[in-house]
Amino acid sequence: MTDRDLINMAVEASKNAYAPYSRLGMGAALECTDGTVYTGCTVENAALSSSICAERAAVCAAVAAGKHRFRRLAVYAANSMSYCTPCGECRQVLSEFSPEVELLCVRSDGRYVSYKLRALLPNMYSKEHFE
């Protein structure tokens, strides 16, 4: 699967985003190490802290299917010319499973930049802190 294939799945997921407050319309496509892909979209709520990001929605779908190892995550912002990186909470959730996951951050015109999660979340808090 190419980066563009994964991005196209994130774009498709963004079409179901419920984002009346931010209007960002985010979609995410998460590729597991076995090649399967799970998608998610933003689900906002009037009680803003009850909202869930597209990235975490995709992680929850993958975990619900028994997948815990991720290779790449494409995150698409339908209404932004910024390269939207995952928020801090999503970075932390991704780090639980795959600290080395690659992030493809896609803006509305389809251009994207790539980061390693570890670069965006240095010295991450992890399960190793419990050992």
x-marked contacts with Zn ion along 16-55 as a string, rule CB under 5 A: -------------------------------------x--
Helix axis angle for 54-64 and 88-97, nearest 10°, is 20
* CA nearest to 86, candidates 20, 24, 6: 24
Q: Which is nearer to Zn ion, 1 or 45 (CB)?
A: 45
**44 classed as catalytic:** no
| CA-to-CA separations, 129 to 17, 75, 85, 123, 126, in angstroms, rounded | 35, 29, 25, 11, 6
Q: Which is nearer to Zn ion, 37 or 42 (CB)?
A: 42
**Considering the rule CB under 5 A, would residue 117 count as an interface residue with Zn ion?**
no
CB-based contact 121:91 (threshold 8 Å): yes
**Considering the rule CB under 5 A, would residue 90 count as an interface residue with Zn ion?**
yes
Residues of this chain that bind Zn ion (CB under 5 A): 53, 87, 90
Residues assigned a catalytic role = 55
